[in-house]
Structure 1
Amino acid sequence: MAEPTQPGDARIRRFSSRLLLGAAVTGTGLVLILTIGVTRPAEAPRPVVSQPAVATGTLEAPPGATAPRPARAAPQDRPRESDRKALDAWSTEVAGATGLPPRVLTGYGRAEMWMRGEWPGCHLSWATLAAIGEASAVGSGPLRVPEETWKQWAARATRDGRQADPADIDDAALTTARSLCSTGADLATAPGWWAAITGAPALAPAARHVFDIATNLAGAAPR
């Protein structure tokens, strides 16, 4: 026969149940906190190259400004075979007319080729990259790339699995190209070209100089 339940016993049991439930919830929370705390955060994703951000806060093109004169295009990318021979022939011919070193032109030409695939609407010309290189010929490397730009857009141009090198003209040119095309601007147009150049703090003060050099190089290169 069960003993009669005292009035206080029910209250004690209800209090004990609430205490146990609270402890269980608290314990679950601690487990979650500890689990989250020791889980290594995922690496920040690289910018999505197929959806470039539209440039903001950039200066407008000066009244009456145009885009640099169109330059002779670099060779077409051929995914199933080496581009080296075509690039070498192209850079040698352009070098003879512009006075730029063939090796440097190969880097600029390859960057133009890659951008046709990554950002087909960018229409970046090697002449703009060459003009940037000539206008910023001081500092380290063949094409000076600001540190923040390098951190965000650095890429290995030869796709050989090695780490990108700021002292390598191919990598420096491709990194600069990716940064310019990431604005979402069409560099074949005056608004797009000036937005991309003036939107880069390191290039904005020399925008007119870069424009003049790009135009002169495009005009000197053989058709």
Structure 2
Amino acid sequence: MTSPRRAAGCGIAAITAVVLAIILVIAIVAWALSAFAPAIVPRNLQPVPEDVPPAVAEAPPLIDVHGPGRTSDQLAQWAQPIADATYIDPQAVRAYGNAELIARDAWPECNLAWNTLAGIGWVETRHGTYTGRTWDQGKLDDEGLAEPPIIGVPLDGSPGFAHIPDTDNGEWDGDSEYDRAMGPMQFIPESWRRYGRDANGDNDPDPQQIDDAALTAANLLCADGRDLSTPEGWRDAVFAYNQSNDYLLKVRDAAGAYAMGQPAVR
């Protein structure tokens, strides 16, 4: 005959196990919510207009973009509240603002706004944080470098991918057989060789460094005398980056959200 005391004890153990399991699930969910807070928007967002080009975000203050060193650091005070509101890494906001100011100086007819660069940065790599692994997000280190470095899949002509044989002998993307997209703004070596620019003052354009990548993206967008203040110019610029209507709409929506001071969610 089973002891009543023993039977009661097993019941308590089972209940305890269930409670502990529930606590563990709650803890995991809480950790996930904390870890992915930038992707989980904890407030009501306003609808984003479908205007092309998207609205222009608050412009960065004028700084000396010809000064020594990492000129984007001069935008720290401007960038921080924008970063807090949009969940963009502050270094990325500074890089986009710095690129806007350099573009305004170098290509004044382009009328490039930093939030268009941010829209592209969001779609491409979530501003340098994408790794392809849900539970292991990347980051920008203190020098603005993607950590770990972001290297795309080999462009070997597989279904859904272009066929681009190696053009850099693996110098930038580590692949001597096929080209791969690189860095926060996802340039292939051939495009980086053509448009790559130094923006952090070390005289070494690096596709993994957010300041350099943002300015290089500005260079590509503004090429061929485009005026991004017009619908045609903005569309042509984004299509020069990626010839896809779905891509254009995602960039438009992200850029529009940033102009409103809220996160991109699409």
What is the TM-score of this pair, normalised by structure 2? 0.54
Aligned residues: 157
Larger RCO (alpha carbons 8 Å, 6+ apart): 1
- Residues 204 and 166 (structure 1), Cα distance of their counterparts in 2 relative to 1, 3 Å cut: farther
- Residues 151 and 204 (structure 1), Cα distance of their counterparts in 2 relative to 1, 3 Å cut: farther
Cα RMSD of the aligned pairs, angstroms, is: 2.2
What residue number does 1:70 align with? 56
Q: CA deviation at 1:203?
A: 6.1
- Residues 125 and 191 (structure 1), Cα distance of their counterparts in 2 relative to 1, 3 Å cut: same
For each residue in 1:48-76, what CA deviation from the matched residue of structure 2 results, as whole angstroms up to 9, or x when unmatched?
xxxxxxxxxxxxxxxx9521111101221
Give the 4+ runs in structure 1 shifted more than 2 A: 77-86, 138-143, 158-161, 199-205
What residue number does 2:78 align with? 90
- Residues 105 and 65 (structure 1), Cα distance of their counterparts in 2 relative to 1, 3 Å cut: closer
Distance (Å, rounded) in 1 between the aligned partners of 2:106 and 2:235 = 21
The alignment-based identity, stated in percent, is 34
Amino acid paired to 1:75: P
What is the TM-score of this pair, normalised by structure 1? 0.64
Q: CA deviation at 1:188?
A: 1.5
Q: CA deviation at 1:201?
A: 3.6
Amino acid paired to 1:90: W
What residue number does 1:184 align with? 225
Partner of 1:183, secondary structure, is helix
**Candidates 167, 177, 197, aligned match of 1:155:** 197
Distance (Å, rounded) in 1 between the aligned partners of 2:84 and 2:117 = 18
Q: Which is richer in helix?
A: 1
Partner of 2:224, secondary structure, is coil
Structure 2: tracts of 5 or more residues without a match: 1-49, 131-149, 152-182
Structure 1: tracts of 5 or more residues without a match: 1-63
For each residue in 1:139-184, what CA deviation from the matched residue of structure 2 results, as whole angstroms up to 9, or x when unmatched?
53222123322110111102333x1111100111111110110131
Distance (Å, rounded) in 1 between the aligned partners of 2:66 and 2:191 = 31
Distance (Å, rounded) in 1 between the aligned partners of 2:256 and 2:209 = 25
